[in-house]
Amino acid sequence: MRDAQKRFRVALSFAGEKRDYVARVASILATQFGEVAILYDKYHESEFARRDLGIYLPDLYHDESDLIVVVVCPDYDEKEWTGLEWTAIHALLKNRKDDVIMLCRFARAQLKGLYDTAGFVELDDKTPEQTADLILERLALNEGKPKDHYTARSGDGGPAPTPAPDKPESGARDFLTDYPESQPKWVGRKTETNKLRRAWRDRRRRMLTIVGFGGEGKTALARRFTESLRRAAVRARRPPSSRVPMAVCPPV
């Protein structure tokens, strides 16, 4: 079961040579849990601008992460920062907390402190999307849930049917950029947001429809979710994909 006190759902340890790949994995995970719950340096730049980062950061891996994903490559052992992270991670292994460590690698690289019998996810033939799915499966298994808890598609294996849309509302705006900037304070909606994230992970879906009575916050929910996807794309230093919604159609 998950320790509710831990700050991060997933922590990523990697060498800079694999940043582009890991950034895409982090973006997918952030769509599921939010950037705040992913330990990836670009999501916490202001927090990490500190004198004692060399002490502060390893503690986050050791004490504040539900699952630590170690992305090993031939350069991993040679880097100063991955060395600091690995010291904290190896301490968990020493204390037999093996379940919280997920080992992945490129080029069948070896890592000091591990025997050659250690199991790795081989990343050379996997896309970031496939790697993110494996991470989500491992997280679910660690929590005692079915491994497809975070990655499940619709029951018949295909896209879920699109619900009927709402009736028109007077003055409905077509584009998110046209919506009023003032938004009510964001409270709750965790269940709805998580459902949207799970549905959006189905790469076959081109559109999601949010239905509900007038005044229930459909527009605010759509805007928040859309902005989270765009921020994740910017953090990963890539343009938003064609699947990121650029508009919300008026109800009919």
Q: What is the pLDDT confidence band of residue 145, given thresholds at 50, 70 and 90?
A: very high
Which residues have CB under 8 Å from 226's CB, separation 6+?
176, 244, 245, 248
Cα 153 from Cα 193, distance rounded (Å): 16
Residue ranges of domains in the chain, CATH in brackets: 8-142 (3.40.50.10140), 154-247 (no CATH)
The least confident of 23-37, 39-53, 142-156 is: 142-156
Which residues have CB under 8 Å from 157's CB, separation 6+?
none
Residues 87-97, mean pLDDT to the nearest whole number: 85
More confident residue, 96 or 91: 91
Give the H/E segment covering residue 104. Answer: strand 101-105
Instruction: Decide: 244 and 233 in contact? Cβ < 8 Å.
Output: yes
The least confident of 2-11, 79-88, 140-149, 241-250 is: 241-250
Which residues have CB under 8 Å from 198's CB, separation 6+?
32, 150, 152
Q: What is the pLDDT of residue 102?
A: 94
pTM over 0.85, yes/no: no
More confident residue, 78 or 19: 19
